[in-house]
Structure 1
Amino acid sequence: MDGNITRNLYTDVEQLCKIRPFRNFYNVGSLDRAAEYIISQFEDLEITVQTYNVNSRKYSNIIASYNTEKEERVIVGAHYDVAGDTPGADDNASGVAGILQIGRFLKLYRPKLKHRVDLVAYTLEEPPFFGTDKMGSYIHAKTLYKEKAKIKVMLSLEMIGYFSDEPDSQQFPLPFFKFFYPDKGNFIGVVGKMGQKKITKRVEELIKKGSSIPVYSINAPVFLLGVDFSDHRNFWKFGYNAVMITDTAFYRNPNYHRRTDTIGTLDFERMSEVVKGIYNVVLNI
């Protein structure tokens, strides 16, 4: 089974990264091809395509739902667009591959859950729309808020495939962090904001129980560089519990927002452990 997970993740990242022109906001056709691939992999799940217009162009969030008769939701999201002309293997084909594999787990095991699961592939997370109300996750979160949806937690998968065992391969936003976290980039991070420590620690615990990957969490002010650098930020805006699950992006990965963010730089064995851990969160949160 583990071998299948690794192969699945590799195939998903490969399929997204080979799309040309690159799947940025300008190349809507490429984003549409990425969306078509994502939909094709969400077998036996209820699919909703949430479309909206920006500058006369149509963009789409892809929502795959399981156990829809339940009211309370767990949302797992990842953005499928890239920054500029980059392949975006880690950022963020890795996260998309993660939600696709969780969808396969749900199809295979058909778990009996007390909550609904929504797996969401978001558009327009990257610049120039990052931090604006044009982000796909903002559109989604605002819609849920208007519908008075009950959300247990939103998990944002933001770069989950780059790891290093080299000393000093892990950097931090503030120097004193090195006293609390490893200097090797061989772990996965769970990032929450101040006031949401309980849910952040619970997610950390469940990833640890479901996988062999080392896991560390932090609750930090949103002004700390990187803490709100993904789709979870928009769920915070509407008062929902949300965390980012990440390999820490530019604090570790030198290929961040560069042409060198290619599939060959990812560690699919460790990435598969991350995904197994996240699936355990989905089951037990």
Structure 2
Amino acid sequence: MKRLLLAGALLTAGLSAVAQSADTTRLRGHIVALTSTPEPRNYLHEASLNQAADYIRAELGAAGARPTEQPYEVKGRTYRNILGHFGPEDGPRLIIGAHYDVCGEQPGADDNGSGVAALLELARLLGRQKGLLYRIDMVAYTLEEPPFFRTPHMGSYVHAQSLRQAGVPVRGMVALETLGYFDDRKHTQRYPVGLLKWVYGTRGNYLTVAQKFGNGRFGRQFARRYRAAAALPVKRFKAPAWLPGIDFSDHLNYWHFGFPAVLLTDTAFYRNQHYHEPTDTLARLDMRRLGLAVDALLAVVAGP
């Protein structure tokens, strides 16, 4: 009888673990939805951007988040950040963000359909968690790409500024940027400084947690915990803020307003030759490893 009870307990635990793992079919479906808009989801095609935004809002709501919007105007046009949060209403919050716009006339499956898909799948898994200890805000940003990159028109700038102005306490921010492209062959990974290949290797088969020097305890803890939780290789990269690539996403705006932030990425153009090209398609992405990236995120952000 004891053996039967033990077997049942192990089975239940196993089923629970499976239930809390990322669903690669859902990840794929999110990327299909984002890359199937009538026109590429860039700042010139408001209808396609809004279609993507509406999809993200609906998925956050279905996951159990409390969805809201942050609209703002740029040159007479309205653009929208889409937000959803889990956990307590009050207290310090963790920001998990990914931009949903693309650069130019391309589908943007990796940049940044993969990041948004990870955001939405993480939201679904967080919706199943009980007793989250702190507030987690999921934010899908608009206008990350040129010509608005490094301007106050970036959706992440608007969001980070609103937190600072409202005096909201922030534990930290994680930017999800290009998470689905991997290549196990040698000499497929490049670096802003050539000598780094001797430290990190030449195979594009890992994720990177990147942050600047002086990023505080949050960055150190996130990098350590994420690497420990991940079932795929993870490199920790810390460098001066001026090093090319270290601030090439939405986390730079949280740095600007004094919040600790990290970048989780497959390193984008340092690996993916299809970056910002019409060939950045779903067929080139690795859904299994994207799912593992989400599983590690859940382990970190749902913990204490």
Q: TM-score, normalised by structure 2?
A: 0.91
The residue that corresponds to 1:31 in the other structure is 49
Bigger Cα Rg:
2
Match of 2:286 among 264, 267, 275: 267
* 2:303 pairs with 1:284: yes
Match of 1:66 among 69, 76, 86: 86
The residue that corresponds to 1:7 in the other structure is 25
From the superposition, tell whether residues 197 and 186 of structure 1 become closer, same or farther in structure 2 (CA, over 3 Å): farther
Q: Structure 1 segments of 4 or more deviating over 6 A?
A: none
- 1:18-57 equivalences under 5 Å are 18-42=36-60, 43=62, 44-57=64-77
The residue type equivalent to 1:180 in the other structure is V
Q: TM-score, normalised by structure 1?
A: 0.96
User: Secondary structure of the residue that 2:302 maps to in structure 1?
Assistant: helix
User: Secondary structure of the residue that 1:284 maps to in structure 2?
Assistant: coil
From the superposition, tell whether residues 70 and 209 of structure 1 become closer, same or farther in structure 2 (CA, over 3 Å): farther
Q: Is residue 22–residue 295 contact of structure 2 (8 Å, CA) maintained in 1? A: no
Q: Is residue 200–residue 218 contact of structure 1 (8 Å, CA) maintained in 2? A: no
* 2:113 pairs with 1:93: yes
Cα distance, 1:104 vs structure 2: 0.4
- 1:1-285 equivalences under 5 Å are 1=18, 5-42=23-60, 43=62, 44-108=64-128, 110-196=129-215, 198-284=217-303
Cα distance, 1:4 vs structure 2: 6.0
**Whole-angstrom distance in 2 between the partners of 1:74 and 1:27:** 31
**Whole-angstrom distance in 1 between the partners of 2:271 and 2:286:** 14
**Whole-angstrom distance in 2 between the partners of 1:76 and 1:194:** 21
**Whole-angstrom distance in 2 between the partners of 1:199 and 1:180:** 24
The residue type equivalent to 1:283 in the other structure is A
Aligned residues: 284
The residue type equivalent to 1:54 in the other structure is V
For the aligned residues, what is the CA RMSD? 1.3
Unaligned stretches of 5+ residues in structure 1: none
Cα distance, 1:204 vs structure 2: 2.2
Cα distance, 1:47 vs structure 2: 0.9
User: Secondary structure of the residue that 1:243 maps to in structure 2?
Assistant: strand
Of 176-185 and 133-142, the range deviating more from structure 2: 176-185
Q: Is residue 73–residue 117 contact of structure 1 (8 Å, CA) maintained in 2? A: yes
Of 212-221 and 258-267, the range deviating more from structure 2: 212-221
Cα distance, 1:279 vs structure 2: 1.4
The alignment-based identity, stated in percent, is: 41
Q: Is residue 201–residue 217 contact of structure 1 (8 Å, CA) maintained in 2? A: no
Q: Is residue 213–residue 270 contact of structure 1 (8 Å, CA) maintained in 2? A: yes
Q: Is residue 194–residue 221 contact of structure 1 (8 Å, CA) maintained in 2? A: yes
The residue type equivalent to 1:63 in the other structure is L
